[in-house]
Structure 1
Amino acid sequence: MKKSTLLNADIAYLVATLGHTDEITIADAGLPIPDHVQRIDLALTHGVPSFLDTVRVILTESQIEGVVMAEEFAKVSPDLYQALLELLAVEQQRCGKTFSIQTVSHEEFKVRTQSSKAVVRTGECTPYANVIFQAGVVF
């Protein structure tokens, strides 16, 4: 049995096959997912698993260099937005790298998800709780 934090086989495979600058989306329960993009559906019920728990686990296994969020996230769900920024700050300090953090309109965000290698759907029911991670390198 795998002994590191990430046990989900689909996400472990996704992370293992990411190349530099590939993007993945971690989404709330309501984000539309394009038919041509791989869907990894973790949602069990409202709030399970949470957006932050999912982000936290994915960050344990992947190196990122870029972050994209909808500007509406900060305005409509400021507490969760701030919690994500704090989690990202801890991760930047842990890995000794600085991430590019970009905000776009929610409409632009949805268009950008069309280029994601996969969308990981959580059970989060907080508006605009979505993030795109751009893969970095560990060297």
Structure 2
Amino acid sequence: MKRHGILNSHISKVLSDLGHTDLIVIADAGLPIPSDVPRIDLALTLGVPSFKDVVSAVSEDMVVEQVILASEIKEKNEETLTFMNETFSESEQKFVSHEAFKQLTKQAKVVIRTGEVTPYANCILQAGVIF
């Protein structure tokens, strides 16, 4: 058994396989997931696990170069935006429309679905490098 880090074998494998600029999505319970993008469905009940819990765990194991968020988060979910700003203070941030965000999910290596049910609690994380 692992001593530290993410215990979910699917997420651990995806993070280990990422190369520079690869994308992963951490999504709320309602984000449409493209049929050809692998899904890791963690949703258990409404709100469980939370977007923040999953982002926190992933951010500890992943070098994140850029974070992409829907611009609508600025008005519809300031609490989550503040959390993202604090969590990824060293990463570049990019805002796109929610429609453009959904199109970008087609390029992801995986979508990790949470049980989150607050508006626009979705992010695309672009992998960086440790050197």
- TM norm. shorter chain > 0.5: yes
SS of alignment partner, residue 4 of structure 2? coil
Aligned pairs for 1:48-59 (under 5 A) are: 48-59=48-59
Which residue pairs with 1:62 in the alignment?
Answer: 62
Distance 1:19 1:45 in 2: 32
Aligned to 1:126: 118
Aligned partner of 2:36 in structure 1 is 36
Match of 1:100 among 89, 92, 97: 92
Counterpart in 1 of 2:77? 77
Distance in structure 2 (CA, Å) of the matches to 1:52 and 1:100: 19
Equivalent position of 2:25 in the other structure: 25
- Matched residue, 1:136: 128
Runs of 5+ consecutive residues of structure 1 not aligned to the other structure = 93-98
Contact 1:74 1:82 in 2 (8 A): no
Q: 1:80: how far off?
A: 1.5
Which aligned runs of 4 or more in structure 1 are off by greater than 4 angstroms? none
Does the Cα contact within 8 Å between 1:66 and 1:134 map onto a contact in 2? yes
Q: Distance in 2 between matches of 1:84 and 1:19?
A: 22
Paired position in structure 1 for 2:109: 117
| TM-score after normalising by structure 2 | 0.98
Tell me how far 1:5 sits from its aligned partner.
Answer: 2.3
Which 5+ residue runs of structure 2 have no aligned equivalent? none
Q: CA RMSD in A?
A: 0.7
Distance in 2 between residues matched to 1:81 and 1:19, nearest whole Å: 26
Count, aligned residues = 131
- Equivalent residue letter for 2:8: N
In structure 2, what is the Cα distance between the partners aligned to 1:131 and 1:53?
A: 13
1:68-95 C-alpha deviation (Å, 9 max, x unpaired): 0000011101112112211212xx3xxx
1:71·1:104 contact (CA, 8 Å) conserved in 2? yes
